[in-house]
Amino acid sequence: MSCPGSVRANLDPFGARSDAEIAAALARVAFRRSDLDAAVDDRGANFSAGEQQLLCLARAVLRRSRILVLDEATASVDEGADARIQAALRGDDLAATTLLVIAHRLATIADFDKVAVLARGALVECDAPGALLGDPGSAFYDLCAATGDLAGLVARAGGAAVR
């Protein structure tokens, strides 16, 4: 989150966008509050973790960010906020944005273009999720199998053949 101020000031600190553009960005990420003059406390303390993440995504949509880095964006949110964040990440508004996502929830990344698996600070493997899930010897396969939802993750990755 940004500095204290209003929702409008946090999404458009330079006043370059119209209220209609700001409201549209909030709607595209399914942010449920509509008052652009609503106060934003220091570090967004008056918003839930999910609302904070949705405001950040709305800012990226509004700015048409080329690269977006998310570090555990859904770690502290309820299922409803998680679903809204996931939908926003996969929506047309961020289709031209390169997403670098750090996630422990494998469903968050199972359908991404590439997955890099790290262990003890070192790169273990990097490939398309479907390719990694097609190899029962891969670390990503092991991680997905440990969730108890291997079939669901395989389906989300595009239906890689599980051996």
pLDDT of residue 43: 81
Number of domains in the chain: 1
In a domain, 158, yes or no: yes
CB contact at 8 A, 106 and 116? no
CA distance 36 to 15: 12
Among residues 29, 28, 47, which one has the least CA distance to residue 38? 47
121: left (phi over 0), alpha (psi -120 to 50) or beta: left
Residue range(s) defining the domain that contains residue 151:
113-163
Distance (Å) of CA 28 to CA 32, 53, 93: 10, 13, 8
In a domain, 51, yes or no: no
In a domain, 127, yes or no: yes
Predicted TM-score (pTM) of this structure: 0.78
Print pLDDT tens along the chain (163 aa).
555 689 999 999 999 999 999 999 999 888 888 899 999 988 888 998 888 888 999 999 999 989 999 898 888 788 888 888 888 888 888 888 999 999 888 988 998 999 999 999 999 999 999 999 999 999 999 999 999 999 999 998 986 444 3
In a domain, 45, yes or no: no
